[in-house]
Amino acid sequence: LRGNLELRVADTSHMPGEVVIVALREELVRLQKEEGSSEKSTLPGDVVDVRFLGSSIRYQVRLGNGDLIAARIPTGILRNSFKPGDRVFVTFDPEEALLYGYPALGLLQELEVY
């Protein structure tokens, strides 16, 4: 990731150092107060937004490199609640990360709607 953040993924189809897009379903992302096990990908960050959505709570976390990642946690399994400013560890199983090659024209141009 940008800023020399490293994460663990199961996809081995890309070379180390290759620029890729990492996609995660926010329902598969978890937040913890402490760093997780070495079997999962773990990234430190700070909660910047919290939204109650009825059956779940959506958290936005700013990573150390400035990137934002979202986690949607069902209210029934929520062990800890977090508020903006809280330091958390974002975790997910390496198999859940999807990697895509970075577009030659750049991401914004590739996603542009005509």
Extents of the domains making up the chain: 2-111
Q: Note the pLDDT of residue 53.
A: 92
Lowest mean pLDDT among 1-5, 41-45, 47-51: 1-5
Rounded Cα gap, residues 109 and 76, in angstroms: 40
Condensed to tens digits (0 to 9), the pLDDT of residues 58-74 reads 999 999 899 999 999 99
User: Average pLDDT over the chain, rounded to whole?
Assistant: 88
pTM for the whole structure: 0.82
For residue 37, name the pLDDT band (cuts at 50, 70, 90).
Answer: low
Kindly report the CA angle at 86 between 81 and 90, in degrees rounded to 5? Answer: 75
**Is residue 109 predicted with pLDDT exceeding 80?**
yes
Enter the CATH code of domain 2-111.
2.40.50.140
d(CA 67, CA 69): 7
pLDDT value for 36: 66
- The whole-number pLDDT of residue 104 equals 86
